[in-house]
Chains A and B, each alone.
Chain A
């Protein structure tokens, strides 16, 4: 019974907090006190997927720092970005609502959405209700840009699956195809389904080996795939590096490992020497974290200088870096198009402005992801569905040790 009093006391406290917090409900502009434009995001900063979230956090913060150092958004010192606000969602959709609300009510005007697809499916509905702009660096699910306020910097999963299958159809006819995928992951299964759909019938059935979260012993998967000439790996790079290590001596030496954008960063896993892998390792992606020239190299150098050699560097980060610059460019374009906005314009108004710019045909962003043009930067644009248009490139991380 004393406990019921504690209950009453605690609930009363919660209530008071609620009353205090409720002072600004309704359709208010939470950003009205901002002195700089605030960008926010949600992503895994702890837990198993933390490397992806941390890369996004670092890269977006780097881009903001660079833009501010170069005189702000317009280069004339008139308008700056505030420091990035990044909340931790542990790749868990149940945590997204609280994160979204804290970002939105904390005065964030433009968001990078979430880093991974699962949480993004919550984020898209919440942000759509409030009309908040989302440009996600890496949540690649097909359903992520369902509403008009959301755009992707990465390729959608189905596009990656189809593009990979087309590459196989053109280049690898007659070879035996295997697939190593993560059966409880939407990214992996999404790509693989489209890949199988678009693959020519002449390849026959794809030999498959599935793993789930928490698996790390891949000796059996290697056994299943040892007859294959090409192994398609629509997975992220950590399990890929483990799988390839487990495959030394069992997988054919002239086989080819072929992945999607998740494979980028495979050669950066600490203490993992990709040269111990005898096979060819390649992937179709919009970014190569081993790039040696162009804008990508500039980004990599800046990132390494800022965060040191041990910080995670992968396509997630590169896409986030591009996201911030794309938002900057869009704001510049908006100003040129005669739209007016201030540092304390509401998230909804920013969303309307940015939507127009991003869907307009004339807006082309030059970034570090995608196939570089002559100037080292790529051409990136968006269509009205929110999917990105840019050139993917097949990067060969490592050539085969012996000629095929």
Chain B
């Protein structure tokens, strides 16, 4: 019994280590800003990083755990930004538009409306599979963008954008960290619950999941709605971090940027998504501010090369042995082994984030199972 309790406590600690890491970072930076020590560049970087983490973690639910490709995450964020920003503008007369109360109300409204949009899009779209869903979500994002862009000046500002109250930049990132923790809490608890297991079961084999009595439509929809309302939360945060919400920002390139964060972080890996969102935001900001003037043309090339090299290195089947020998994880765990005791719960093969993803399955599956995979793809045309 005691050993069981011991094991339990170890696993729990393991579950909460990423909360702790985020919280510690948040506390350190908060202490520094209350001491008046943080320069604007750091504040802006933190705001952007926390926003991107919320986006990446929420998209990770759909792409990594539900196994559906969504290219419209920025569209939901756009809904959240406009609706939340408009709410804050309307509240500005009654209560202080930049205050925390106004923020919370806007957040609730923005998340709710984005969630409703998630429902409206998800209900029909989740009948579609794979790349078909990708194009429909992409289409949704572009439609939302176009509609807000052509709105009247009085309603949502039209092409020039909606002017929104900007939250005190000294403290906004603390709210960002709270939102990150909230997002992690929602997603991780969902994944660890029986609903989460249902969701990953759908990802791994939809037909088998349906056969075992899982309500596939319901779970897909729930995942999609939660993901989109969290994107809406990030959007409301955006509207409070900027003085203008402009629809053109939320194009499919932004959705792709978020998808890159999720994929680089590892499918179905929340901590990975957090790390890669942080690193990508940091690299992009550094490239943007360091390469000024004539050097600016180099930054996209550098970014693209980093992207291609990392993806090929991480995913190429032919580099598998090389990867297992010399990877960051091995390096880090070596260092940690060297410094301290081996990490606890290491042999817990059933830990939720260790459940092999569909992608890993594809690599190891035999031929006849691959036929199953190809029938799950959208249909092919008989040529000829």
Contact = CB atoms under 8 A, between A and B. Distances in A.
Interface of A: 1-11, 14-15, 18-19, 21-26, 45-46, 57, 61, 84-88, 92-95, 97-102, 104-105, 117-118, 121-122, 124-126, 129, 141, 143, 183-186, 188-190, 212-213
A98 B289 contact: yes
Given A1-B346, A9-B332, A186 B44 contact: no
A183 B44 contact: no
A121 B158 CA distance: 14
Interface string B113-125: 0000000000000
B183 to A, nearest CB: 15
B110 to A, nearest CB: 17
Contact of B285 (A7, A98, A105, A184): A98
Interface in B6-38: 14, 17-18, 21-22, 24-25, 28-29, 32, 36-38
Interface stretch (B58-66, B294-302, B304-312): B294-302
A25 B39 CA distance: 5
A196 to B, nearest CB: 13
26 contacts: A2-B343, A4-B14, A5-B333, A7-B275, A8-B17, A18-B29, A18-B38, A21-B42, A22-B32, A24-B39, A45-B293, A45-B296, A61-B293, A85-B292, A86-B296, A88-B291, A94-B242, A97-B40, A98-B44, A98-B289, A101-B39, A101-B43, A122-B244, A183-B159, A184-B248, A186-B160
A222 B289 CA distance: 42
Contacts of A46: 296-297, 299-300
Interface of B: 14, 17-18, 21-22, 24-25, 28-29, 32, 36-48, 146, 149-150, 158-161, 163, 166, 169, 238, 241-244, 246-249, 266, 269, 271-272, 274-275, 278-279, 282, 285, 288-289, 291-294, 296-297, 299-300, 328-329, 332-333, 336, 343, 345-346, 351, 353
A88 B40 contact: no
A308 to B, nearest CB: 14
Contacts of A98: 41, 44-45, 48, 285, 288-289
Chain B interface mostly: helix
A123 to B, nearest CB: 10
B297 A99 contact: no
Contacts of B163: 121, 143
Contacts of A125: 166, 243
Nearest to B285: A98
Given A1-B14, A85-B292, A88-B296, A7 B274 contact: yes
